[in-house]
A and B are shown apart, each in its own frame.
Chain A
């Protein structure tokens, strides 16, 4: 019965939510599971009495569930963090600090999340340098450029499994072979990919992997960094030695319990759910591209199952977002400069070769469990009317 996969939360706002890449609703089953631990298992996992042991059991069960989702060698490979940003920081800074004597060069793709790019920028103060590997117009990393960027004193390469703005899925296995042939470490940001497509750290050859709880319909404020057995990193914060000293601080047990349960459910339901979302995605793409001067951003086939991203000429993305929401009750996202705090267009859209004025017209649709094929006509109609409305105002 498909019903078990629904998020089934109480609907307090009407409309169609299509901005899952920004935030997922917490699955009702995850919430119930996490609430149980919030009520019953309030002990500190580090304490040796029975309350502490009960809490420790909850924590370790969660760890095992996350390890299983990503095909890890065992639960001990998982370091829980306060989210994907923290995990990315720990991976980049921790690897760089640990291997500073080996070399000072760091690599990343040009479309990495800001929580990978900003630690790289900050590490320049500590004497490291970094280069960004370009991607092609579909968002795929240029393997030849990666190969020529590799040198003896390069320590690590960071490449995301899939991009949340354009949906493109990277050839991680090929990247891994190239990176390992040259003796580097490979960090993969799996935030957008885990739970949507099969991610297997051993088969894919991943050294460090970032996982986010909320992207699996788990609570926000929880994440994990997988570190392959045998690889050592340096902690970036110091305290009581929790998480083997890599991420000290009393564990956020409630969120981590939910994270574990979310990972378990994702593992069980991913294949069916992704196929279902892919069908919706494909009809959305087909219908929306009927609009004149509309274009798909990202890769046409190597893309996340629930991800459809577009750009429309002569109109601006924040206006698209506001019109879709206020007029049609549909929540989407955009990579337009006007919607960002910095007023810079998305670095991802510029990296795939879009001009500033092209990047402004971006609309990002990310599907979730609550979306259904029956919503497609309404979404398409709303998009058409929104584009028509804004073009009528446009002097271009």
Chain B
């Protein structure tokens, strides 16, 4: 039988999301999505010894968007930045025991927001150029919204 509705794990993370909020003076900040499309996600990170020491998110969006945000912050916490950059949208969906097919694109922005926050940090410390961070974000934004 095809899965009906959201997985138990999605509902758990939706009902009790981890790491909600903002970090004062974050080392990295990423924001992806668009309220017009119904999903907007922001992630703040604190970096210590090249690892994600603290991470917080705020999300405007549907149940899966909130669950995805919560899950990606849990997955990224404690990882090195390079490791965190390897987390994909699919990894997050898999960890949540899957998302309904129509939600795989629009609300699965957690990995993008995370990567945007890491790149923002890398720009700050001069590891990459600002242009390199921007291009990636915009392409994802276009992908996420059909309007």
Residues of A that sit less than 8 Å from B by CB: 314-316, 318-319, 322-323, 326-327, 336-339, 341, 343, 345, 355-357, 360, 392-396
Contacts and interface: CB of A to CB of B under 8 A. Distances in A.
A319 B62 contact: yes
B63 interface: yes
The 7 closest A-B CB pairs, nearest first, are: A338-B62, A318-B62, A395-B58, A357-B35, A356-B36, A394-B60, A395-B42
A338 B15 contact: no
A316 B61 contact: yes
12 contacts: A316-B38, A318-B62, A319-B62, A323-B15, A326-B15, A338-B65, A356-B38, A357-B36, A360-B35, A360-B38, A395-B42, A395-B58
Nearest to B70: A393
Interface of B: 6, 11, 14-15, 17, 20, 31, 35-42, 58-63, 65-66, 102, 106-107, 146-147
Nearest to A326: B15
A355 B60 CA distance: 16
Which of B63, B106, B147 has its CB near the most chain A CB atoms (within 10 A)?
A: B63
Contact of A315 (B41, B60, B106): B60
A396 B35 contact: yes
Given A322-B14, A356-B147, A394 B59 contact: yes
A355 B116 CA distance: 27
B40 A395 contact: yes
Interface on chain B toward A: helix, strand, loop, or mixed SS?
Answer: mixed
Given A338-B107, A356-B36, A395 B147 contact: no
Given A338-B107, A343-B102, A393-B66, A319 B35 contact: no
Contact of A338 (B31, B40, B106): B106
Contacts of B61: 316, 319, 338
A395 B63 contact: no
B58 A393 contact: yes
Contacts of B20: 392-393
A395 B31 contact: yes
Given A337-B38, A338-B107, A316 B17 contact: no
B110 to A, nearest CB: 13
A157 to B, nearest CB: 30
Given A319-B62, A326-B11, A338 B17 contact: no
Which of B36, B39, B107, B147 has its CB near the most chain A CB atoms (within 10 A)?
A: B36
Given A314-B60, A338-B63, A343-B102, 4 more contacts: A319-B14, A319-B66, A322-B14, A394-B58
A31 B40 CA distance: 47
A355 B42 CA distance: 22
A323 B147 CA distance: 27
A327 B147 CA distance: 32
Given A356-B36, A395-B40, A396-B40, A339 B62 contact: yes
Contacts of A314: 60
Given A318-B62, A394-B58, A343 B106 contact: yes
Nearest to B61: A316
Contacts of A338: 38-39, 61-63, 65, 106-107
Nearest to A360: B38
A113 to B, nearest CB: 22
A142 to B, nearest CB: 25
A24 B17 CA distance: 33
A366 to B, nearest CB: 21
Contacts of A345: 38
Contacts of B40: 395-396
A341 B101 CA distance: 10
Contacts of B6: 322
A315 B59 CA distance: 9
Which of B6, B17, B65, B66 has its CB near the most chain A CB atoms (within 10 A)?
A: B66
Contacts of A316: 38-39, 60-62, 65
